[in-house]
């Protein structure tokens, strides 16, 4: 069925067979094999790996901080990273495990369900990584029955958007992250530490380093991912979206308009980043924009996909005006 799949007036009637929709393109955009890191970032990763310290990444949203953890895992031949998505209510303990106190209590009260305390524990990203770093025999007494332990191995742990957590969160992590251990009071204050040779690789992302305490910053290898230059953007697009070519008029115009939107005086409250650019280019292709078709002169195509680039109503209006001006050459 041709695009658009959904129309304003359903004149076509209900199709006899369900419409076949395209698969998600996200997998293409997040393929770790196509991740391009600049030299500073490469060195920072190597320093973190050499020193065995957490790598703290900052930078604008959409500059590939989260994807980097996948790229590191891929390049090191590890399993995909274990991800901890920080919430505003996260505590340091949540990074290692959560315990279903209520369930345990209920089981104890009613006599139903498992009477084994271990069955009410759920290990989270760093907890899993620490357990996996040990041999099975060394930690089997702490493993719930459904925990799959495939031998001592290393893992990459991603603590995403640590700045979302309460202020105390990083401070509470200091010793545990440095020593790579945690304690479980619910299991008799058991202490589980990572095997020395198999310490997890920790990648922490934050949109800003401002809310992180100095003590925490000092324990991390820090790298701020700068927003890429235009030429670098082209390389990223070519690597991530293979069907584009370097001299594609569509790509040239799209980059031009994208960089206009990113200019400080554009008026946008939230400037689009690389991830938005990749999404936008994909959207443009989806609605039928040809690679050889310049975007300038076809504002309706860009207009229909602007919502991929700008995410608020105010910014939408500003972007529409910028697009109109850019299209007639008023903005160079």
Smaller CB distance to other proteins: residue 229 or 286? 229
Q: Are 154 and 141 in contact (CB under 8 A)?
A: no
By rule CB under 8 A, what string of x and - marks binding of each residue 152-181 to other proteins? --------------xxx-------------
Smaller CB distance to other proteins: residue 100 or 256? 100
- By the rule CB under 8 A, 214 interacts with other proteins: yes
Smaller CB distance to other proteins: residue 178 or 286? 178
Distance, CA of 159 to CA of 162 (rounded, Å)? 6
- By the rule CB under 8 A, 58 interacts with other proteins: yes
Give 150's DSSP letter. -
- The structure tokens 């799949």 sit at 5
- By the rule CB under 8 A, 16 interacts with other proteins: no
Q: Which 255-274 positions form the footprint of other proteins (CB under 8 A)?
A: 269
- Total chain residues near other proteins (CB under 8 A): 36
Distance, CA of 316 to CA of 101 (rounded, Å)? 46
Q: Are 314 and 293 in contact (CB under 8 A)?
A: no
- By the rule CB under 8 A, 48 interacts with other proteins: yes
Q: Among candidates 159, 128, 163, which has minimal Cα distance to 146?
A: 128
Q: CA torsion angle for 9, 11, 17, 20 (degrees, to 10)? A: -40
Smaller CB distance to other proteins: residue 25 or 270? 270
Q: Are 183 and 92 in contact (CB under 8 A)?
A: no
In a 3-state reduction of DSSP, which class is residue 1?
A: coil
By rule CB under 8 A, what string of x and - marks binding of each residue 73-92 to other proteins? ----------------x-x-
Q: Are 327 and 299 in contact (CB under 8 A)?
A: yes
- By the rule CB under 8 A, 217 interacts with other proteins: yes
Region binding other proteins by CB under 8 A among candidate stretches 26-34, 50-58, 278-286, 316-324? 50-58
- By the rule CB under 8 A, 44 interacts with other proteins: yes
Tokens of 310: 């700008």
Among 218, 243, 311, 321, binds other proteins (CB under 8 A): 218
Q: Which 22-41 positions form the footprint of other proteins (CB under 8 A)?
A: 39-40
DSSP 130-163: HHHHS-HHHHGGG--TT----SS---EEEEE-GG
Q: Which 112-141 positions form the footprint of other proteins (CB under 8 A)?
A: none
Smaller CB distance to other proteins: residue 63 or 327? 63
Give 291's DSSP letter. T
Phi–psi pair at 55, nearest 5 degrees: -100, 115
Distance, CA of 255 to CA of 131 (rounded, Å)? 46
Distance, CA of 95 to CA of 86 (rounded, Å)? 9
Smaller CB distance to other proteins: residue 5 or 105? 105
Work out how close the CB of 294 gets to other proteins at its nearest, in angstroms, rounded to a whole number.
31
- Interacting residues with other proteins (CB under 8 A): 39-40, 42-44, 46-48, 50-51, 53, 55, 58-59, 89, 91, 101-102, 105-106, 109, 166-168, 209-210, 214, 217-224, 269
């Amino acid at each position: 069925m041709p695009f658009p799949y959904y129309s304003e007036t359903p004149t076509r009637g209900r199709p006899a067979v369900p419409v076949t929709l395209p698969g998600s393109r996200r997998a293409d955009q997040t393929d770790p094999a196509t991740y391009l890191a600049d030299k500073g970032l490469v060195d920072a990763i190597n320093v973190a790996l050499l020193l065995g310290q957490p790598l703290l990444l900052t930078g604008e949203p959409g500059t590939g901080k989260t994807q980097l953890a996948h790229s590191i895992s891929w390049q090191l031949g590890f399993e995909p990273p274990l991800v901890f998505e920080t919430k505003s209510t996260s505590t340091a303990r949540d990074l290692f495990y959560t315990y279903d106190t209520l369930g345990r209590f209920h089981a104890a009260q009613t006599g139903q369900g498992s009477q084994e305390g271990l069955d009410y524990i759920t290990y989270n990203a760093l907890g899993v990584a620490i357990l996996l770093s040990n041999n099975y025999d060394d930690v089997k007494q702490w493993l719930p029955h459904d925990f799959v332990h495939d031998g001592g191995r290393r893992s990459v742990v991603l603590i995403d958007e640590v700045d979302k957590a309460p202020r105390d969160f990083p401070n509470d992590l200091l010793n545990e992250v440095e020593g790579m251990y945690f304690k479980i009071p619910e299991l008799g204050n058991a202490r589980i530490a990572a095997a020395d040779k198999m310490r997890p690789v920790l990648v922490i992302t934050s949109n800003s380093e401002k809310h992180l305490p100095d003590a925490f910053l000092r324990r991390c290898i820090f790298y701020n991912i700068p927003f890429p230059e235009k030429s670098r953007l082209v390389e990223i697009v070519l690597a991530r979206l293979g069907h584009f070519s370097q001299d594609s008029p569509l790509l040239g115009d799209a980059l031009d308009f994208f960089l206009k939107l990113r200019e400080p005086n554009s008026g946008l409250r939230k400037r689009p980043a690389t991830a938005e650019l990749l999404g936008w280019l994909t959207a443009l292709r989806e609605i039928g924009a040809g690679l050889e078709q310049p975007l300038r002169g076809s504002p309706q195509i860009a207009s229909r996909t602007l919502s991929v680039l700008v995410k608020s109503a105010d910014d939408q209006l500003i972007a529409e005006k910028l697009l109109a001006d850019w299209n007639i050459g008023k903005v160079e």
